[in-house]
Amino acid sequence: MRRRWTAVAAALLVLVTSSCTGEAAETPEPSAKQRVEVFSWWTGLGEADGLKAMRTLFEKQNPGFTFVDAAVEGGSGDQARALLASKLQANQPPDTFQGHAGAELQGYITAGKLEPLNFLYDELKLRDAFPPQLVEQISVHGEIYSVPVNIHRSNVMWFNPGVLRAAGVNGVPRTLPQFLDALGKVRDTGRIPLAIGPQWTVVHLFESVLLGSLGTRAYNKLWTADADWSSAAVKKALTDFAAILSMTGPPQADWQPAAKQVADGEAAFTVMGDWAYGYFHNEPDGGLGKKSKTDFDWAASPGTEGTFMWLSDSFTLPRGAPNREGAVAWLKVAASKAGQDAFNPPKGSIPARRDVDTSLYKDYLAWNLNEWSRDELAGSIQHGVVANDGWRAAINDAVGIFMENPDVAELQRALVLAAKNSGQ
């Protein structure tokens, strides 16, 4: 797999100085030996809580190191990945950085920017701790390049039960036709049928509609050499997507404001990953403090019941990390049972490890653990599992154009071309 390395404009360097949430600006600069710069895009309510919980554990276990939070704002990490590419090209890596397990990391590996972590997997016996299919996704020719800290589900439909009742929607929509019918009923009440955020959240919606329309086997085939993006089945899926997109409200600044529209009863639905659970559920200092099954509820996105569209956040060891020892110490915490149990409940995700304390995962998270254990699997587009960064960027561009000009034939042509040029 090949990654398209692109130059990043100087404006992005300005962005990081205003967006990073590192605490070095508030406290004296730690020495180079003590600094452990952890690069991520976890800045929002819920996700930042998970990072903070793991940071607390790291600092307790490693008093000789100082954690430096180099998080960059922007849901889904598009801005962070662009900045990261420029740092790696300049041979100025952070000590460790977040990445999605799967195709997203292939470009870094091919470019020789990551150290393999087999030594850590051997020392900590991580091949036994993680599910085999996950280890396979993060391995290339027998080498393992990241430590997964969680499993997220992408295909989740969040909804406001009160808004549905007021619109006369009886029962949770399970199919795409039922979903479109429910959206129409909500629209007739004057409320927002489907809340969305910026462009990446629409790609997130797109992958769920594609899965729901095509079915699991046909969706998974799209990422193989036998894929046919020009098929009538794909055209039908894109037509479904166009109909659903016509029912959305004005795009919000990010996924959190869109989710808040649902929680506040301004909108009926949003399709977002399960990190939204932490945002809905956590107390007001880290979330909205809403009550599940009353203020908000969830189901598999329409047409996808029985399939878990997954992604996994992971951390890496860049070649030339300024504090390699500190980075390895962070990776050990991220890989540990204690680290994953500290991180995942507030983050709204389930652990990558198979031996964690399941009693900590309640409500939505208990449901999700059960679904993960029995569902078929499909990989996320937007979150790096099935498409490398060049292909994912081309899909994002095609969906962005479609948002402005909803021409199904043109969208299909763009997707056919993106697949042809993917190099994957």
Whether residue 125 sits in one domain with residue 15 = yes
Q: Where among 332, 348, 370 does a domain terminate? A: 370
In eight-state DSSP terms, residue 414 is H
Q: State both tokens at 101.
A: 């397990």
Is the pLDDT reported for residue 401 higher than 90?
yes
Which residues 6+ apart lie within 8 Å of 60 measured at CB?
none
Please compute the mean of the pLDDT values over residues 257-273 and round it to a whole number. Answer: 97
Distance CA 256, CA 216 (A): 28
Strands, E assignment, 112-198: 139-140, 143-144, 147-148, 152-153, 156-159, 192-194
Examine the pLDDT at 304 and tell me if it is beyond 90: yes
Average pLDDT for residues 21-29, to the nearest whole number? 40
Same domain? 295 vs 412: yes
Closest CA to 213 of 287, 307, 137, 134: 307
Is 303 within a domain?
yes
Q: Do 358 and 401 fall within a single domain?
A: no
What is the average per-residue pLDDT within 44-65?
A: 90
Residue 145 belongs to domain with CATH number: 3.40.190.10
Report yes or no on 375 lying in a domain: no
**What pLDDT, on the 0 to 100 scale, is given for residue 75?**
60
Report the candidate in 332, 176, 306 with the shortest Cα–Cα distance to residue 242.
176
Confidence bin at 135 (pLDDT 50/70/90): confident
> Does 273 share its domain with 222?
yes
Task: Give the pLDDT confidence score for residue 141 in this predicted structure.
Answer: 87
Q: What integer best gives the mean pLDDT of the chain? A: 90
pLDDT tops 60 at residue 28: no
- Which residue segment(s) compose the domain that 94 sits in? 10-150+315-370
Looking up tokens 């922007």 gives 74
Q: Cα separation of 36 and 322, whole Å?
A: 8
Model pLDDT, residue 76: 64
Is the CB of residue 99 less than 8 Å from the CB of residue 69?
A: no
Residues 195, 55 share a domain: no
Is 145 a domain residue?
A: yes
pLDDT of residue 83: 92
Q: Are residues 140 and 273 in the same domain?
A: no
Q: What is the pLDDT of residue 7?
A: 34
Question: Are 323 and 242 in the same domain?
Answer: no
- Please check the confidence at residue 14 and state whether its pLDDT lies above 80: no
Q: Mean pLDDT over residues 61-86, rounded?
A: 88
Instruction: Look at residue 74 and tell me if it is in a domain.
Output: yes
* Percent of the chain topping pLDDT 70: 91
Say whether pLDDT at 263 is over 80. yes
Same domain, 289 and 166: yes
Quick: pLDDT tens for 115-127.
999 999 999 999 9
pTM of the model: 0.83
Is there a domain that residue 4 lies in? no
Assigned token pair, 292: 């599940």
Examine the domain organization and report whether 277 and 394 are in the same domain: yes
Within-domain flag for 5: no
Asked if residue 376 is part of any domain, the answer here is no
How far apart CA 68 and CA 38 sit, in angstroms, is 6
Structural domain includes residue 2:
no
**What are the tokens at 311?**
């992604």
pLDDT digits (tens, 9 = 90+) for 214-239: 999 999 999 999 999 999 999 999 99
* Same domain assignment for residues 184 and 223: yes
162 and 187 assigned to the same domain: yes
Mean pLDDT confidence for 344-358: 90
Domain count, the chain: 2
**215 plus 91 within the same structural domain:** no
Chain-centroid distance of CA 405 in Å reads 26
